[in-house]
């Protein structure tokens, strides 16, 4: 099976290449904003003879060529990257007219600076066991840290579809290399698991394991809060303001990488170990909406709701869901979404639903049968049981909830993935601690 995947690497350019990267990103941003301004000003107006004018990427490519001949510093930048900016604008307007996004806005300097090249103009060569180079048009060969090999097709060749170069908020340049590669079919594991997503415990599995973020994430969040208060007292645009803002961006980048690392390790373990993974059908966008309200109808408990929104976004529920979906697609597994109603109030033993059974965040004691369990573990068992009963709210792929021999999938026993260690906690299920250097997935 052929799939499209992208590998992200950090670039280590020379001082001269840093200047060229910033110049290319600036010119691409200018071309995008000029094309957007033309479409906002002249779009829909008749042209000569009453004919409508094409302001799409094909219609503006001729004007871009004329602009490159007139302005030397625009012509010095790769034309392919500028044409890709026009294609990005076409996609932005298509998303707007189809109701998937808002009306396109101008790009700003320092906010998601990036540019893209097509695969035929990009080449990669390996230097040694740690370093490789990527050839970027009009910039040259730029070194990057080779943290993982590029995935190949069935014939052993690496097919590069595109390469996107972007500037991170911490000031580091990255390249995302999109590939078309081959994925070998694997037998479907006849094992099922439920995943309960929370705030205090990010991910609790029905097999009894618990996955948490490192403690350094919370410490960095507290440090960021203090630095933001200090930043508010600095003069905007001053040297001390820029240095402090850069420090905050680096701390946030570290937390983002920690969240993504946990999501990658967990989703890889789930995709390789289980044939069915059940999760709750959560409307994360609605759950993280502001409670401020309006002037006429102000909201209640705004500060508490803001803290809850921040905690939900800090865990990365949606990122986990996206990674899990494509990894299960590769392994032939199934992701099932079940209704989230009463999963934390229902007893996994007798099925009795009572709000009073949830004593606190960590404890569940059924008021009917007396079953005592960890609340998150109990919810995860309810999630996988609903999936096996066929109570899914939305199924990602049309695959039967059976193994290769036609037998029904059943919840699995506790397991510990490679590269991790299970620790039995007296107050709940075993926790998973990531080992250093793991998570290459």
Write the CA distances from 78 to 13, 24, 235, 251, 283, integer angstroms.
Answer: 18, 8, 38, 33, 42
Residue 440: inside a domain: no
Point out the residues that are catalytic.
196, 280, 376
Residue 157 and residue 256 in one domain: no
Residue 132 and residue 201 in one domain: no
Residue 37: inside a domain: yes
Cβ neighbours around 241 below 10 Å, total:
14
Taking a C-beta distance cutoff of 8 angstroms, is the pair 351, 391 a contact? no
Q: How far apart are CA 188 and CA 315, in angstroms?
A: 29
Residue 320: inside a domain: yes
Residue 366 and residue 416 in one domain: yes
Residue 363 and residue 417 in one domain: yes
Show the beta-strand stretches assigned E in 306-389: 334-338, 363-365, 372-374
Helices (H) and strands (E) in the chain, counts: 10, 17
Residue 110: inside a domain: no
Residue-wise pLDDT tens for the chain (441 aa)?
Answer: 778 888 999 999 999 999 999 999 999 999 999 999 988 887 655 555 555 566 788 888 888 999 999 999 999 999 999 999 999 999 999 999 999 999 999 999 988 899 999 999 999 999 988 999 999 999 999 999 988 888 877 677 788 999 999 998 888 999 999 998 887 777 777 889 999 988 888 899 998 889 998 889 989 999 999 999 999 999 998 999 999 999 999 999 899 999 999 999 999 999 999 989 999 888 777 677 776 665 556 666 677 767 777 777 777 888 899 999 989 888 888 899 998 888 888 888 888 888 888 888 888 888 888 888 888 888 899 999 988 887 655 444 334 444 434 344 555 554 444 444 443 343 444 555 454 444 433
Residue 277: inside a domain: yes
Burial of 265 (0-12, 13-18, 19+ CB in 10 A): buried
Q: How far apart are CA 267 and CA 8, in angstroms?
A: 18
> What is the enclosing helix (H) or strand (E) of 258?
helix 239-273
Range of the structural domain that residue 32 is part of: 16-44+52-97
Domain count, the chain: 3
Residue 174: inside a domain: yes
Residue 358 and residue 243 in one domain: yes
Residue 105: inside a domain: no
Given 130, 162, 182, the domain boundary residue is 182
| Angle between the N-to-C axes of helices 57-70 and 15-42, in degrees from 0 to 180, rounded to the nearest 10 | 130
Pairing of strands 210-211, 428-434: parallel
Instruction: Give 177's contacts (C-beta < 8 A, 6+ positions apart).
Output: 6, 7, 8, 9, 122, 124, 134, 150, 160, 162, 163
Residue 162 and residue 40 in one domain: no
Residue 304 and residue 347 in one domain: yes
Residue 93 and residue 121 in one domain: no
Residue 38 and residue 87 in one domain: yes
Q: How far apart are CA 34 and CA 91, in angstroms?
A: 16
Residue 350 and residue 247 in one domain: yes
Q: What tokens does 250 get?
A: 């680096």
Given 128, 154, 182, the domain boundary residue is 182
Q: What tokens does 183 get?
A: 């994925």
Residue 375 and residue 230 in one domain: yes
Residue 178 and residue 271 in one domain: no
């Amino acid at each position: 099976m052929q799939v499209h995947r992208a590998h992200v690497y950090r670039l280590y350019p020379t001082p001269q290449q840093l200047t060229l990267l910033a110049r290319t990103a600036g010119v691409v941003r200018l071309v995008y904003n000029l094309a957007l301004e033309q479409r906002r000003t002249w779009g829909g107006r008749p042209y000569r003879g009453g004919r409508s004018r094409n302001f799409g990427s094909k219609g503006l490519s001729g004007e871009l060529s004329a602009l490159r001949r007139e302005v030397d510093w625009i012509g010095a930048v790769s034309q392919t990257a500028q044409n890709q900016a026009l294609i990005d604008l076409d996609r932005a307007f298509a998303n707007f007219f189809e109701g998937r996004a808002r009306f396109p806005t101008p790009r700003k300097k320092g906010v998601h600076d990036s540019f893209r090249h097509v695969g035929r103009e990009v080449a990669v060569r390996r230097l040694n066991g740690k370093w490789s180079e990527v050839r970027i048009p009009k910039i040259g060969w730029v070194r990057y840290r080779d943290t993982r090999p590029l995935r190949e097709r069935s014939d052993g060749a690496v097919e590069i579809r595109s390469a996107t170069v972007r500037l991170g908020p911490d000031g580091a340049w990255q390249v995302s290399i999109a590939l078309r590669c081959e994925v070998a079919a694997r037998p479907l594991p006849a094992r099922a698991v439920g995943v309960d997503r929370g705030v205090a415990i990010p991910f609790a599995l029905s097999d009894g394991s618990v996955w948490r973020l490192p403690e350094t994430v919370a410490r960095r969040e507290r440090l960021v809060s203090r630095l933001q208060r200090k930043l508010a007292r600095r003069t905007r645009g001053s040297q001390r303001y820029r240095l402090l803002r850069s420090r905050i961006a680096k701390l946030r980048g570290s937390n983002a990488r920690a969240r993504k690392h946990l999501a990658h390790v967990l989703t890889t373990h789930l995709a390789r170990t289980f044939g069915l993974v059940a999760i709750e059908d959560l409307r994360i966008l609605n759950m993280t909406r502001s409670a401020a309200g309006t002037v006429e109808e102000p909201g209640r408990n705004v500060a508490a709701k803001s803290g809850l929104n921040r905690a939900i976004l800090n865990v990365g529920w949606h990122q986990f869901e996206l990674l899990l979906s494509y990894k299960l697609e590769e392994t032939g597994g199934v992701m099932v979404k079940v209704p989230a109603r009463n999963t934390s109030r229902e007893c996994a033993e007798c099925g009795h639903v009572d709000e009073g059974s949830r004593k606190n965040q960590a404890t569940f004691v059924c008021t009917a049968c007396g079953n005592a369990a960890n609340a998150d573990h109990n919810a995860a068992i309810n999630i996988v049981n609903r999936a096996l009963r066929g109570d899914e709210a939305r199924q990602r792929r049309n695959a039967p909830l059976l193994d290769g021999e036609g037998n029904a999938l059943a919840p699995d026993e506790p397991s510990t993935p490679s590269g991790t260690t299970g620790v039995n906690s007296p107050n709940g299920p075993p926790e998973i601690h990531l080992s250093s250097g793991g998570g290459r997935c």
